[in-house]
């Protein structure tokens, strides 16, 4: 119990002291995950809408695979990306291993199936409502997808936020491809892992609280913005 | 609007199945000419299914459906009002702007056009309201305005006055009569025999998925041929 209280004080001390390292690590966490979420949303949200609208042969299998990929262990994704970008790998010449760029890429791989899957569920419900009307108005496939994305945007926000939650707390993949290098690729989760292994539990828990706080903050901000927009409409 | 037509529409032995069960057909029908055809019959007879078929929303299991000029143009030349109006999760005005923008009309022009259409059905004060907040009758008016806005050559209306009061019904009927005057072909369903008598030029009487009786409104209402039609018009249970 005392350790937890100590951790809370440690977290407060860290935050209030505006510890330079903490700020750097937190900002890097945010930057990497937000980038990954934006990229994965640009791919995953339209994919979800497309899956809801377009009835092609093999759609069912596609969705099954997508759902399976959602459960893909991040370490495995990390290992795969590592092998592709390692010096002897096919993209080794790019020299991206152990950089934030490749960490973003690994997260995109993890987040696309998740975001597309949730988006598909949201879009499927809306499509049930809209299908006859949009067909009647002779909308093209892309117009249908665009309409679903626009009118279902509040539900899609949930998909992206779920992606953010998954990304910001992810450690396995970015540890492998990022290497947890101080002042280069260290983020909140990998720092927590490191401090825990060093026996600095209070510091680790403190970082953990910052992580939770950041995650909450982003969620609250996004919902506030969405709410203001909704009221304005 | 281009002058190309999709009429006549010809159905030959057209049948629609759901879950292995024939829900409508076989139907032979030719939709052409002018005026208002009233599709009437008991609940579950297949009126909605016939309208959907003519609009190309449901695939035939048997028989043929032929639109003049081919299937591609059909939707652009037909307006459809669903039995339960489907509205976009947008404001009232945007519901009318939407089909215009689908056809590539510029926003300013589309907005002006949509405002005129709203005024036409008496909904202009609701322009900025969310469509989901409209009453049942207001929704139906909006759906009708949206179907009319593309100036279709064929209007398919599935009980467009179902939850409207007397005044609103009169307003809608006036709109339909003026559309008929400008040459719009109308096929609609109703359970309101008063409305059927007021508007119909022709009648299709549907029972159990088939056209049981077809003819001019005058003959149908004055001297129905079949006992089923007589019973239906009397408000009796069908034999
Ligand atoms: N998707 C479906 N699956 C199974 N059965 C269906 C489906 N759609 C319609 N049916 C059945 O087909 C029959 C005809 O339905 P339809 O909606 O065309 O009747 P209707 O004449 O429009 O009736 P109402 O006056 O109640 O609107 C009904 O028995 C209905 O239950
Ligand atoms: Mg019906």
Return the CATH fold of A2-232. Answer: MetI-like fold (1.10.3720)
- Return all residues near A193 (Cβ < 8 A) that are at least 6 apart: A171, A175, A180
A232 contacts chain B (CB < 8 A)? no
Stronger pLDDT, A198 or B25, i.e. the higher one? A198
- Given a contact cutoff of 8 angstroms between Cβ atoms, the answer to whether A48 and A120 are in contact is yes
Between chains, do B88 and A136 touch, taking CB under 8 Å as contact?
no
- Domain locations in chain A? 2-232
Percent of chain B with pLDDT over 90: 70
Calculate ∠ Cα B219-B22-B230, nearest 5°. 25
Measured by CA distance, the residue closest to atom 30 of ligand 1 is B44
Any residues with CB less than 8 A from the CB of B104 and at least 6 apart, and which? Answer: none
Select from B75, B86, B89 the Cβ nearest to the Cβ of A138. Answer: B75
Top residue of A127, A138, A230, A233 to mutate, by most chain B CBs within 10 Å, is A138
- Give residue B1's pLDDT: 44
Mean pLDDT of the B166-191 span:
92
What does the pLDDT profile of chain A (233 residues) look like in tens digits? 677 888 788 778 877 888 888 889 999 999 999 999 999 999 999 999 999 999 999 999 999 999 999 888 999 999 999 999 999 989 989 989 999 999 999 999 999 999 999 999 999 999 999 999 999 999 999 999 999 999 999 889 989 999 999 999 999 999 999 999 999 999 999 999 999 999 888 888 888 988 999 899 988 988 887 777 776 55
pLDDT band at B42 (very low <50, low <70, confident <90, very high): very high
Search chain B and give the residue with CA nearest A231.
Answer: B130
Q: Say yes or no: CB of residue B52 within 6 Å of ligand 1.
A: no
Q: Which residues of A touch B98 (CB under 8 A)?
A: 137, 147
Tell me the C-alpha distance between A135 and B84, whole Å: 16
Closest CA to ligand 1's atom 25:
B43
Check pocket membership of B184 for ligand 1, CB cut-off 6 A.
Answer: no
Q: Ligand 2 is a single-atom ion; what residues have CB below 5 A from it? A: B 47-48, 83
Confidence of residue B71 (pLDDT cuts 50, 70, 90): confident
Asked if B73 and B4 count as a contact pair (C-beta separation under 8 A), the reply is yes
Q: What is the pLDDT of residue A233?
A: 57
- pLDDT for the residue B210: 93
CA angle B94, B76, B3 (to 5 degrees): 120
Residue B156 in contact with residue B55, Cβ under 8 Å?
A: yes
Does the beta-carbon distance from B99 to A137 stay under 8 Å?
A: yes
In the reported structure, the alpha carbon of residue B23 is separated from the centroid of ligand 1 by a whole-number distance in angstroms of 7
State the distance from the centre of ligand 2 to the C-alpha of A198, rounded, in angstroms.
71
For residue B55, the distance in angstroms to the closest alpha carbon of chain A comes to: 8
Provide mean pLDDT across the span B218-232: 90
Predicted local distance difference test score (pLDDT) of residue B196:
94
Could you give the 3-state DSSP secondary structure of residue A169? coil
DSSP B9-35: EEEEEEEEEETTEEEEEEEEEEE-SSS
Confidence (pLDDT) at A232: 57
Query: What tens digit of pLDDT does each residue of B180-201 get?
Result: 999 999 999 999 999 999 999 9
> Would the CB atoms of B88 and A139 count as touching at under 8 Å?
no
């Amino acid at each position: 119990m005392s350790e937890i209280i100590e951790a809370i004080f440690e977290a407060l001390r860290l935050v209030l002291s505006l510890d330079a390292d903490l700020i750097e690590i937190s900002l890097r966490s945010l930057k990497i995950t937000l980038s990954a979420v934006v990229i994965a949303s640009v791919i995953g949200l339209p994919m979800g809408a497309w899956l809801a609208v377009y009835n092609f042969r093999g759609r069912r299998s596609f969705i099954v695979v997508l759902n399976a990929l959602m459960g893909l262990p991040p370490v495995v994704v990390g290992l795969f990306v590592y092998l592709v970008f390692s010096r002897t790998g096919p993209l080794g010449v790019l020299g991206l291993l152990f950089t934030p760029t490749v960490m973003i890429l690994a997260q995109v791989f993890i987040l696309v199936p998740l975001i597309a899957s949730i988006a598909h569920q949201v879009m499927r419900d809306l499509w049930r409502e809209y299908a006859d009307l949009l067909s009647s108005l002779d909308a093209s496939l892309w117009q249908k997808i665009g309409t679903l994305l626009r009118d279902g945007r509040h539900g899609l926000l949930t998909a992206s936020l779920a992606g953010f939650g998954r990304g910001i707390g992810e450690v396995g993949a970015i540890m492998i491809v990022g290497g947890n290098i101080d002042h280069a690729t260290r983020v909140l989760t990998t720092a927590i892992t490191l401090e825990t292994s060093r026996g600095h539990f209070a510091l680790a828990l403190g970082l953990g609280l910052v992580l939770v706080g950041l995650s909450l903050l982003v969620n609250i901000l996004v919902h506030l913005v969405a709410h203001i927009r909704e009221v304005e409409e | 609007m281009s002058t190309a037509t999709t009429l006549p529409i010809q159905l030959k032995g057209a049948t629609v199945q759901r879950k292995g069960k024939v829900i409508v057909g076989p139907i032979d029908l030719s939709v052409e000419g002018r005026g208002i055809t009233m599709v009437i019959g008991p609940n579950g007879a297949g009126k909605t299914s016939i309208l959907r078929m003519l609009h190309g929303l449901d695939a035939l299991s048997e028989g043929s459906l032929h639109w003049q000029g081919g299937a591609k143009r059909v939707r652009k030349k037909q307006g459809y009002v669903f039995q339960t109006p489907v509205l976009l999760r947008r404001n009232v005005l945007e519901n009318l702007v939407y089909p215009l923008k689908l056809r590539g009309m510029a926003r300013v022009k589309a907005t002006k056009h949509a405002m005129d259409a709203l005024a036409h059905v008496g909904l202009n004060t609701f322009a900025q309201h969310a469509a989901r907040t409209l009453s049942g009758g207001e929704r139906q008016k909006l759906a009708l305005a949206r179907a009319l806005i593309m100036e279709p050559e064929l209007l398919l209306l599935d009980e467009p006055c179902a939850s409207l009061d007397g005044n609103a019904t009169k307003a809608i009927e006036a709109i339909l009569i003026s559309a008929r005057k400008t040459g719009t072909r109308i096929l609609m369903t109703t359970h309101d025999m008063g409305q059927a008598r007021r508007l119909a030029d022709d009648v299709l009487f549907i029972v159990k998925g088939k056209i049981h009786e077809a003819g001019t409104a005058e003959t149908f209402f004055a001297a129905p041929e079949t006992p089923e039609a007589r019973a239906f018009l009397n408000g009796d249970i069908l034999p």
